[in-house]
Amino acid sequence: MTIAKSPLRTLVIGAGSWGTALATAATRHSHSLLFCRHPDQALTIEKHHYNPRYLSDLLLPLTLHATSDISVAIHHLQQAPQQSLIILGVPVIAMRETCQQWFTLLQQAQLEHIPIIWTCKGFEQSTGALPHEIIHQVSHFPHTGVLSGPSFAKEVIQHLPVALTVASHSYLVQQRTTDILHNSFCRIYHSQDIIGVEVGGALKNIIAIACGIADGLQLGNNARAALITRGLVEITRLGSTMGGDPSTFIGLTGLGDLVLTATGDLSRNRQVGLAIAQGKTLQAIMDSGITAEGVRCARDTLARATHLGIEMPITQAICRVLFEGIPPKEAVQQLLMREAKQEI
């Protein structure tokens, strides 16, 4: 593979649908390299310009390159270390191992100062840690941040308009992310509220499952609106208690991401809810290949809320449906029968 010179360089680690989408968007202003775990995947992207594992019906830019060779990825960054950005496009479940491996590699190459952002949403199942907590536990990257917002990978690859937020305490992270990803179809906003952005991204998936169940049961638009609104209350309660800025939850990474995930047909979490409403078991849904972060983080979210004394009835109901076998209709009825109270 020949790597051409470019003033800005992006390395995206993780060739799932969202990693592929961001690597595609990064080709507008940088030389973008997508690191894949599987050699056959990298070869197909490099030679035939589509991802055979994710969104295979979409053509990728000819300027997007891919590799499964770590040495090639490191060399890519070494060509312009002062003008590079690393994007971790792996799920929460792979965050710890990926950070440990790449921090060691980048430290050995004296590249650990390159700004790094992550895109995963949820809590780590074994520890209940948020992504920023994981990365700080296993690495010492000086410039870190999270990228989030209402976005479907397919639409980003198609260059349809999208707005995202990069949250970081590092100006370098905010500016480098903007330089690379801000373009005619992708708008980047800045924030310093890492906790708020991460909590909003994690919890909206749980509420999206609830909305999918309601839609699957044909409970109507009124019910969906109520779930989104009261779900946002739950997100804000927990997020604010954990240290997030309440205003974050009415922005792109709170309300914006919640509305998209709860109503969009491309939402995997909503698809889980729809399938549950149709009588399918959680195991059957997972076996079908649907991966939804809301399922993975629901119990950890409820555990954190319980520990902090935060009331989250929708999240509790979803946990009962997913993990205790409570029929969806019964869970809805229990929510409706809760004591009347003041809204806020």
pLDDT digits (tens, 9 = 90+) for 246-303: 999 999 999 999 999 999 999 999 999 999 999 999 999 988 878 788 998 999 999 9
Give the whole-number percent of the chain exceeding pLDDT 90: 90
* pLDDT score of 1: 43
Residue 38 labelled as part of a binding site? yes
What tens digit of pLDDT does each residue of 146-193 get?
999 999 999 999 999 999 999 999 999 999 999 999 999 999 999 999
Amino acid at 321: V
Tokens 């980048």 -> residue: 106
CA atoms within 13 A on the CB side of 6: 25
Looking at every residue in the chain, the average pLDDT score rounds to 94
Angle at Cα 100 formed by Cα 94 and Cα 103, nearest 5°?
Answer: 125
- Name the pLDDT band for 333 (thresholds 50, 70, 90): confident
* pLDDT score of 99: 96
Residue 102 labelled as part of a binding site? no
What tens digit of pLDDT does each residue of 54-98 get?
999 999 999 999 999 999 999 999 999 999 999 999 999 999 999
Q: Which of the following is catalytic: 204, 280, 329, 341? A: 204
CA dist., res. 279 & res. 341, Å (int): 32
Residue 19 labelled as part of a binding site? yes
- Flag whether pLDDT at 4 surpasses 80: no
* pLDDT score of 5: 53
How would you write 76-134 as a 3-class SS string?
HHHCCHHHEEEEECCCHHHHHHHHHHHHHHHHHCCCCCCCEEECCCCCCCCCCCCHHHH
Q: Are 253 and 193 in contact (CB under 8 A)?
A: no
CA dist., res. 270 & res. 199, Å (int): 18
Residue 168 labelled as part of a binding site? no
Looking at domain 9-192, what is its CATH homologous superfamily?
NAD(P)-binding Rossmann-like Domain (3.40.50.720)
Angle at Cα 281 formed by Cα 313 and Cα 300, nearest 5°?
Answer: 40
- Over residues 239-249, the mean pLDDT reads 97
Domain spans in the chain, listed from the N-terminal domain onward: 9-192, 203-337
* pLDDT score of 341: 79
- Flag whether pLDDT at 16 surpasses 70: yes
Give the pair of three-digit tokens for residue 224: 């969906």
Provide the CATH topology of domain 203-337: N-(1-d-carboxylethyl)-l-norvaline Dehydrogenase; domain 2 (1.10.1040)
Q: For residue 266, how far is the Cα from the chain centroid? A: 14
* pLDDT score of 6: 58
* pLDDT score of 336: 79
CA dist., res. 229 & res. 263, Å (int): 13
Burial string for 30-62 (b: 16+ CB within 10 Å, else e) reads bbbbbbbeeeebbbbbbeeebbebbbeebebbe
Residue 37 labelled as part of a binding site? yes
* pLDDT score of 2: 42
Residue 212 labelled as part of a binding site? no
What is the pTM assigned to this prediction? 0.94
Is 154 a catalytic site residue?
Answer: no
- Over residues 220-245, the mean pLDDT reads 96
Residue 289 labelled as part of a binding site? no
